C-alpha cells in the first residue's frame, strides 16, 4: 500500500494522485499539514514541500517527476513516460506545465480576493491565524514567479486560456492529451484542474466554459479510472508530430519558458537572488530558484542516458528545430 501525504489544494499532490490512479495501485491519501508524523516525513523526504509518497517498503519520496519515473519501472504496462524519443517530448511538455504554467495557478489563487479567502480557509481550516499568514504569503509568491504586474497577470491568463482551448480541441480527437493513453502530461494538467482552476471560484468560472475538459476531468479523477483501462499497445501519438496540444506547449516552451530557464541558470551561476527578463514583451521579475535547473537536468539526462546514438541524433536535430537545444540539448 502506498501513502500519499499532501493537500487537496496542492498542484503536485493532485498530479501524483492522478498518476497513482492511472497506475491502478492502491493508496491512501493523508493531509500532510495535519498529520502527526509531518516533521518526521519532512526529515525523511528532505523537504517541507508537498507531496511525500511513502512506498510499501517505507521509503519517503518527494518530487513528482522522479517518483513517476520510478513507478514506471514498477508498472511498465501502464508507464506514463514513453520510452525513446517520445519520452523526451513528453518530459519537456510535462516540465513546461510543471514549472512555467504552474505560476498561472498561483496567480489565480492569490491575486483574486475571493479565491484567496477560499483557498486560505480550506488549507488552514479553523486556524484563523494560519489563514491570515497564507493570504499574506500568496502575493509574495506571485511576485517571485513573474505575475506581479497587471500586464503579466493578464498575459498569464491569456496563456492559460490558449492551453485550455488547445486541450478542449485535442480531447475531441484523442482520449488523452498526447494520444489514446495517458502520460505524465495528463497528470499535471489534471492536477492543475483538480487542485486549482476547477476548484478555486475565479478560475473555475473560466474552465466551466470548456465542457470536454470538465467531463474529462470528472472521468479521470474517479477512484476506478484504472479499471476503465487501456491495453498496453494503445497508442500514444508518435514522435515528433505528437498532438496539436503538445505542439502548442512546445511553442510556449520555446517562446517563453526557454528565456526563463536560461536567465535562471545564469542567476544561479552568479549567486543572484532574482533576475528580470522580458515575458510577453514586458520586463518581469523572478526569484532565482534551484529546482527549474534540476528539472531541465533530468531531461538532459534522459537524452544522454536512455537513448541509443541514432535516436539521440534525431532528438538533437528536433531540439534544434524547436529552438531549445541550448536548454535541453
Give the per-residue SS3 of 275-299: EEEEECCEEEEEECCCHHHHHHHHH
**How distant, in Å, are the alpha carbons of 81, 194, 225 from that of 228?**
20, 20, 5
Distance CA 207, CA 201 (A): 10
- The ranges assigned to domains in the chain are 2-78, 85-328
Between 229 and 193, where is the model more confident? Answer: 193
Indicate if the pLDDT at residue 230 is higher than 70. Answer: no
**pLDDT, tens digit (0-9, with 9 covering 90-100), for 94-119:** 999 999 999 999 999 999 999 988 88
pLDDT confidence tier of residue 282, bands split at 50, 70 and 90? very high
Grid coordinates given for 292: 527549474
Instruction: Kindly tell me the burial class for residue 189, based on how many C-beta atoms sit within 10 Å of its own C-beta (0-12, 13-18, 19 or more).
Output: buried
| Euclidean distance between the first and the last CA atom of the chain, given in angstroms as a whole number | 38
State which CATH number among 2.120.10.30, 3.40.30.10, 3.90.1170.50, 3.20.20.70 fits the domain covering 2-78: 3.40.30.10
- What does DSSP say about strands 282-287 and 27-31: parallel, antiparallel, or unpaired? unpaired
Mean pLDDT, rounded, of the chain: 93
Q: What is the pLDDT, as a whole number, of residue 126?
A: 57
Ranges of beta strands (E only) in the chain are 2-6, 27-31, 52-54, 60-62, 274-279, 282-287
Contact between 156 and 111 (Cβ < 8 Å): no
Amino acid at each position: 500500500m502506498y501513502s500519499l501525504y499532501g493537500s487537496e489544494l496542492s498542484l503536485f499532490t493532485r498530479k501524483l494522485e492522478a498518476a497513482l490512479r492511472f497506475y491502478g495501485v492502491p493508496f491512501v491519501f493523508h493531509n500532510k499539514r495535519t498529520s502527526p508524523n509531518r516533521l518526521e516525513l519532512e526529515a525523511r523526504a528532505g523537504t517541507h514541500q508537498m507531496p511525500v509518497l511513502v512506498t510499501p517498503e517505507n521509503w519517503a519520496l518527494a518530487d513528482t517527476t522522479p517518483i513517476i519515473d520510478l513507478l514506471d519501472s514498477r508498472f511498465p504496462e501502464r508507464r506514463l513516460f514513453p520510452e525513446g524519443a517520445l519520452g523526451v517530448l513528453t518530459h519537456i511538455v510535462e516540465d513546461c506545465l510543471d514549472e512555467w504554467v504552474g505560476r498561472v495557478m498561483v496567480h489565480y489563487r492569490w491575486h483574486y480576493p475571493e479565491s484567496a479567502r477560499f483557498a486560505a480557509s480550506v488549507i488552514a481550516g479553523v486556524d484563523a491565524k494560519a489563514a491570515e499568514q497564507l493570504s499574506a504569503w500568496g502575493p509574495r509568491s506571485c511576485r517571485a514567479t513573474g505575475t506581479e504586474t497587471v500586464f503579466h497577470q493578464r498575459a498569464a491568463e491569456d496563456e492559460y486560456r490558449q492551453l485550455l482551448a488547445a486541450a478542449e480541441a485535442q480531447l475531441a480527437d484523442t482520449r488523452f492529451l498526447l494520444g489514446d493513453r495517458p502520460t505524465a502530461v495528463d497528470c499535471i494538467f489534471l492536477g492543475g484542474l483538480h487542485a486549482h482552476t476547477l476548484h478555486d471560484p475565479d478560475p473555475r468560472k473560466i474552465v466551466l466554459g470548456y465542457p470536454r475538459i470538465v467531463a474529462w476531468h470528472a472521468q479521470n479523477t474517479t477512484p476506478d479510472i484504472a479499471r476503465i483501462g487501456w491495453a498496453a499497445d494503445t497508442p500514444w501519438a508518435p514522435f515528433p508530430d505528437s498532438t496539436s496540444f503538445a505542439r502548442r506547449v512546445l511553442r510556449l516552451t520555446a517562446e517563453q519558458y526557454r528565456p526563463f530557464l536560461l536567465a535562471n541558470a545564469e542567476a544561479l551561476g552568479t549567486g543572484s537572488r532574482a533576475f528580470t527578463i522580458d515575458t510577453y514583451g514586458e520586463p518581469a521579475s523572478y526569484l532565482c530558484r534551484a529546482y527549474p535547473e534540476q528539472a531541465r537536468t533530468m531531461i538532459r539526462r534522459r537524452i544522454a542516458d536512455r537513448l541509443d546514438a541514432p535516436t539521440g541524433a534525431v532528438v538533437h536535430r528536433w531540439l534544434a528545430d524547436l529552438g531549445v537545444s541550448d536548454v535541453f540539448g
